[in-house]
Structure 1
Amino acid sequence: MKILIRKKNFITKVIRKTTFISIVIMMIFVLVASNEITHNQLGRTAQPLNVCLTTDSLACKDTSKEITLKPFIPDPKLNEQQRFLSVISQKLPTIPQPGTYEYTLLRTYGAVFVNQDVGIKLPQKDIFANEQETQQFQATLTMGHVDNTNDCYLQKSAADALNKARIQEHIPLKSGYGSGDCTRTFNTNLRFWHKYANNQILTKVQQGKEIKILGLVAPPGTSQHLWGLAIDLRVGTKEQRKALNQNGWFQTVENDVPHWTYVGLPEENLPLFGFNKQVIRGITYWITPL
């Protein structure tokens, strides 16, 4: 008799526990359904957390509703060069030493490394050795189409920002149509170099004896166009420049008039990130402080 009572009590406990678990599961299902939370949404919420856990480049803020990423803001007490280097050190594994070829290239083309857009991907170095390295990097990019062009593509955030500017104002590509104005292959970069320069000039650039050529054409494997963050445009009015600046696009390569770089920052914030404003022949350039 006692054994039967114990069995009955055990069965009752099991039923109660199973019922409790079922109720909890049902409540969770109802809550999820009522808030229209999907699997993809949960995945997107988890993604920023993974970024926070795996990198020190961005500070994270955890709220009861969502996890947001804060951009890296340099210490305003630092000088211009220190502020710029503190930002790009969050992006580049190694900062080149002053006087090196890599440092010269970083000074000329390194503006993109301040970009705080989490959708932008930056290279781990400022020189690609060949077409294979270039293709390997470009294969990892999320690309976007530049509206009203045949085959002009940029990294998606850059393309979206450019498309917004071109809605505000008519801003044609330099060539009017060509993909060469946008993201380029290593071989295209090489072809442009040979159009304006040669191996002897490249040697002088590597030795630090020639830098003016960098405002005309980028040496092989070094162009911002390889990273999907630059475009050549025909810009001639203040309204066009204003539209581009309002959407994060600036001229950052001194004397390269058609060349525009996607920095992704408001113009008023550029000095905070160390940029120097220089007006040359009526054109405003934002130059790195290196």
Structure 2
Amino acid sequence: MKLPLMKKKNLTRVIRKATFISIVILMIFVLVASNEITHNQLARTAQPLNGCLSTDSLPCRDTSKETISEPFLPNPELNEQQRFLSAIARKLPTIPQPGTYEYTLLRTYGAVFVNQDVGIKLPQKDIFANEQETKEFQATLIMGHVDGTNDCYLQKSAADALNKARIQQHIPLKSGYGSGDCTRTFNTNLIFWHKYANNQILAKVQQGRETKILGLVAPPGTSQHLWGLAIDLRISNQEQRKALNQNGWFQTVENDVPHWTYVGLSEENLPLFGFKKQAIRGINYWLTPL
């Protein structure tokens, strides 16, 4: 008895899919034999192929490379420093060694590396060497405009969160208008540095002999402003601070009063990520535990 044309086509599809899956499974077991892939890894690889035979569409989509981003929470049994480092280790390829210049910068400006917002992009290191390196990183960012400003831009998630806070409260930029309060170029960072410091002070910072200057201005190539995740604001009351905190913005650089960092966490989760709350002259800073 001849099969109807439609059923015949469906049967052909099933055969093609079965052949495809057989080849894939064979390849998986070859990899198991040659590379000692674990049973769990094998299960994760083969599982997305389940159900392919029951679908009528071709080709069957392999979802083995598709991941669902789940918020990371540090192990609460770890100490503060370990919790913080476990979070930033997911973002930074290499954690600087204690006592190095990079570690000093991470301690001061590294709060952003715990950010769990999938919409932001973090640099692969905490120092940009020059303008070209900075531009190359910034060219990869998705930027958003800060409402009510002429030329203030941040990474979009940070800008969106700030705009929500500014709907709740009137929150002006430090300068009142300028891009210098928002995402900066390497050269702008350099200009700010030379306004307050010099190469001799930079050498002391690099040697670990000077750190107070870091609460006033960031050394060349190290500012959170280069990453589009910081802004300088003019804050005068607790309601403004509350609105910013509710939207993931916190003061994380000790003694830098106008400076706000987009951490992207709720205030109740900051201690879980190792942050230490420190009140200085009536301002609560959330500092890294390094």
- Normalization by structure 2: what TM-score? 0.80
Q: Which residue of 1 aligns with 2:109?
A: 109
Q: CA deviation at 1:18?
A: 4.5
Q: 2:7 aligns with which of 4, 11, 17?
A: 17
Q: CA deviation at 1:71?
A: 1.1
Q: Which residue of 2 aligns with 1:144?
A: 144
- Structure 1 gaps, min length 5: 1-8, 25-42, 53-67
2:182 paired with 1:192: no
In the alignment, the residues of structure 1 paired with residue 180 and residue 172 of structure 2 have an alpha-carbon distance, to the nearest angstrom, of 13
In the alignment, the residues of structure 1 paired with residue 10 and residue 256 of structure 2 have an alpha-carbon distance, to the nearest angstrom, of 70
- Residue 279 of structure 1 aligns to a residue whose secondary structure is strand
Q: Which residue of 1 aligns with 2:28?
A: none
2:246 paired with 1:256: no
- Identify if the C-alpha distance between structure 1 residues 89 and 242 changes in structure 2 by more than 3 Å, giving closer, same or farther: same
In the alignment, the residues of structure 2 paired with residue 187 and residue 91 of structure 1 have an alpha-carbon distance, to the nearest angstrom, of 26
The CA deviation string for residues 61-112 of structure 1, in whole angstroms up to 9 with x for no partner, is xxxxxxx421111000000000000000000000000000000000000000
The CA deviation string for residues 31-66 of structure 1, in whole angstroms up to 9 with x for no partner, is xxxxxxxxxxxx9xx7xx7463xxxxxxxxxxxxxx
Q: CA deviation at 1:20?
A: 4.8
The CA deviation string for residues 214-249 of structure 1, in whole angstroms up to 9 with x for no partner, is 000000000000000000000010000000000000
2:272 paired with 1:282: no
- Residue 3 of structure 2 aligns to a residue whose secondary structure is helix
In the alignment, the residues of structure 1 paired with residue 117 and residue 284 of structure 2 have an alpha-carbon distance, to the nearest angstrom, of 23
- Residue 277 of structure 1 aligns to a residue whose secondary structure is strand
- Normalization by structure 1: what TM-score? 0.80
Q: Which residue of 1 aligns with 2:216?
A: 216
In the alignment, the residues of structure 2 paired with residue 118 and residue 50 of structure 1 have an alpha-carbon distance, to the nearest angstrom, of 17
Q: Which amino acid aligns with 1:122?
A: L
Q: Which residue of 2 aligns with 1:120?
A: 120
2:161 paired with 1:161: yes
- Identify if the C-alpha distance between structure 1 residues 18 and 164 changes in structure 2 by more than 3 Å, giving closer, same or farther: same
In the alignment, the residues of structure 2 paired with residue 182 and residue 93 of structure 1 have an alpha-carbon distance, to the nearest angstrom, of 26
- Residue 231 of structure 1 aligns to a residue whose secondary structure is strand
Q: CA deviation at 1:13?
A: 3.2
In the alignment, the residues of structure 1 paired with residue 188 and residue 138 of structure 2 have an alpha-carbon distance, to the nearest angstrom, of 14
In the alignment, the residues of structure 1 paired with residue 69 and residue 108 of structure 2 have an alpha-carbon distance, to the nearest angstrom, of 29
Q: CA deviation at 1:15?
A: 2.4
Q: Which amino acid aligns with 1:146?
A: V
- Identify if the C-alpha distance between structure 1 residues 14 and 232 changes in structure 2 by more than 3 Å, giving closer, same or farther: same
- Identify if the C-alpha distance between structure 1 residues 80 and 172 changes in structure 2 by more than 3 Å, giving closer, same or farther: same
Q: Which residue of 2 aligns with 1:61?
A: none
Greater Rg, structure 1 or structure 2? 1
In the alignment, the residues of structure 1 paired with residue 73 and residue 283 of structure 2 have an alpha-carbon distance, to the nearest angstrom, of 27
- Residue 172 of structure 1 aligns to a residue whose secondary structure is coil
Instruction: Please tell me the root mean square deviation across aligned C-alpha atoms, in Å.
Output: 1.9
- Residue 69 of structure 2 aligns to a residue whose secondary structure is strand
In the alignment, the residues of structure 1 paired with residue 98 and residue 216 of structure 2 have an alpha-carbon distance, to the nearest angstrom, of 22
In the alignment, the residues of structure 1 paired with residue 105 and residue 4 of structure 2 have an alpha-carbon distance, to the nearest angstrom, of 71
Identity of aligned pairs, percent?
Answer: 82
In the alignment, the residues of structure 2 paired with residue 51 and residue 256 of structure 1 have an alpha-carbon distance, to the nearest angstrom, of 41
- Identify if the C-alpha distance between structure 1 residues 127 and 17 changes in structure 2 by more than 3 Å, giving closer, same or farther: same
